[in-house]
Structure 1
């Protein structure tokens, strides 16, 4: 029993300052979550139902939206319940599970962005070999990589955390975060393994970032020489680049603040910093791709036109 935590309930105290406005926050959060569900599910269904969109780029985009749904489902339902209940408690196992979902969502997001960058590199820099390189089998392997790698890494991290002996149960956030749980470990508890896994994870995903930079160096070099490639870059790479930059800004800002930030900031501002990556990318990504990619935009406009035409006939 010495190596196992006796803590069975965590208190999410980050929500305390919002309790005076909880009905307003509940209503706005529920509306926002419904919009996230609507835009992501709509884009997924459009890609699934339209055979013209059964191409690697759109299948990867479908994975991107599914990951957005996965990550937000790990946060919003619990947060909405906390706004309705008088006490903001979460079980030990529930806290670890939520930390797993949130962390694996963030890692999968970057993995999928890296795979999408590779797809665009092949499409623009090696167009003659694109279909021979980006086969259905290769696409399946890359999709599995973007999901299974984060799941394996984060599972190991959460497993190590579950073996720690904790001397605290107060988490000053709106949701469970693995690093915050580790910091609740008793002073005599060995957390070296957790630190090693944490830095290994950072190294792996920094490597993802360098790979994306490498692909864009080649993409930009190629597009400078060709007007046709430049148009293709603006059409398909700009949404990816906007999604990537937005995600990196919010996730790096959160990580830096979590590790080195001051606790003197108002709790409401700390809460906003903590949930930026669950607020902005899941909502913004499907909108960017929906409006920027011609095939998807035409499909959406076609559906709106048909619906309007049928309503006018009635």
Structure 2
């Protein structure tokens, strides 16, 4: 009887331990070698500051020049704002962890970081799709461009993008909050990524995986299909232009957007393939840097280096006498 009583008390203690919600996670990051930490801190700090500066300059140029108050630049300024928020969701916490040599992140902070990460990456996806539609109307239906892409429609497209991204992020986080984590959990990443979190849960994750894959197909596949359809019609319209100068001018209006779209989806595909490979925790974290850091830092350069209007606006703005 004493043995049964002792055995049952042990089982009860184990059940209590398994039902306990973990209070914090450990973000393993890229490397635990001390000599690499100053290099990583300086690298990501400089990349973060360049991202902030570049995207802020885009917003400044668009807002200060009335000639840039067009649908294309309206969507571009929104994309720059989202890229600032997107990068600020993950990089500052990583910099703090590197500087303090403390990898812990609370459960609440992890859930909040995951919420904003899903929100802003979804907005990136939708805004790139909206910008593809804008280029489609500009090239395939130029005479009615200003009638179709009126300020009301542009604002509505951005609003719908925010609503869709917010609802998706809320759904994923509500489902994540139902999972339990029984022991001290190490996340082999530099931020709380949805797929890694689901893999580390000790409760049933079938429904979470089902929703995640369904949302990926619906909210990534559908916009990507829209972008491909838009560009197929754009290419068809450009081929019908007789002069080489006209073809070059039409293509140059969407070259920057096409470059950003290719970079965004190719890096996302690289992250997916690396996470699907065995023994890929470190590889997945490195690949994630491409679309969480590299893509937002390159967007301002892609849109401004060959854009005379933005460069001219910034030159005039900084040369203006107080």
One fold, TM greater than 0.5?
yes
**Partner Cα separation in structure 2 for residue 38 and residue 232 of structure 1:** 29
1:279 aligned to which of 293, 298, 322:
293
Could you tell me how far 1:270 is from its partner in structure 2? 4.2
- Is 1:78 matched with 2:114? no
Q: Deviations over 1:54-111 (max 9, x none)?
A: 1110000001101110110001110110011132000101111111222222221111
1:159 aligned to which of 174, 187, 197:
174
When the two structures are aligned, how many residues end up with a matched partner? Answer: 302
1:249 aligns to what?
266
**Partner Cα separation in structure 1 for residue 20 and residue 115 of structure 2:** 18
1:231 aligns to what?
248
Could you tell me how far 1:136 is from its partner in structure 2? 1.1
**Larger Cα Rg: Structure 1 or Structure 2?**
2
> Which moved further from structure 2: 218-227 or 25-34?
25-34
Could you tell me how far 1:229 is from its partner in structure 2? 5.0
**Alignment RMSD (CA, Å):** 2.1
Q: For 1:90, what is the secondary structure of its paired residue?
A: strand
Q: Deviations over 1:182-218 (max 9, x none)?
A: 11221xx332321222122111211111111100011
**Partner Cα separation in structure 2 for residue 203 and residue 288 of structure 1:** 28
> Which moved further from structure 2: 170-179 or 142-151?
142-151
Q: Deviations over 1:6-63 (max 9, x none)?
A: 1110011234435332122212221221111111101111101111111110000001
Map 1:103-142 onto structure 2 (within 5 A): 103-142=118-157
1:174 aligns to what?
190
1:183 aligns to what?
199
**Partner Cα separation in structure 2 for residue 34 and residue 123 of structure 1:** 34
Q: For 1:292, what is the secondary structure of its paired residue?
A: coil
Q: For 1:75, what is the secondary structure of its paired residue?
A: helix
Could you tell me how far 1:299 is from its partner in structure 2? 1.9
Could you tell me how far 1:302 is from its partner in structure 2? 3.7
**Partner Cα separation in structure 2 for residue 247 and residue 111 of structure 1:** 12
**Alpha carbons of 1:257 and 1:175: their partners in 2 closer, same or farther (altered >3 Å)?**
same
Could you tell me how far 1:5 is from its partner in structure 2? 6.1
- Is 1:220 matched with 2:232? no
- Is 1:262 matched with 2:303? no
TM-score, with structure 1 as normaliser: 0.90
Could you tell me how far 1:256 is from its partner in structure 2? 2.3
Q: For 1:176, what is the secondary structure of its paired residue?
A: coil
**Partner Cα separation in structure 1 for residue 19 and residue 136 of structure 2:** 48
For the 8 Å contact 1:96–1:178, the answer to whether it is kept is no
TM-score, with structure 2 as normaliser: 0.87
1:8 aligns to what?
23
> Which moved further from structure 2: 232-241 or 120-129?
232-241
1:44 aligns to what?
59
Could you tell me how far 1:292 is from its partner in structure 2? 2.3
1:197 aligned to which of 211, 227, 248:
211
For the 8 Å contact 1:235–1:292, the answer to whether it is kept is no
1:57 aligned to which of 62, 68, 72:
72
Structure 1, unmatched stretches of 5+, are none
Q: For 1:11, what is the secondary structure of its paired residue?
A: strand
Could you tell me how far 1:281 is from its partner in structure 2? 1.1
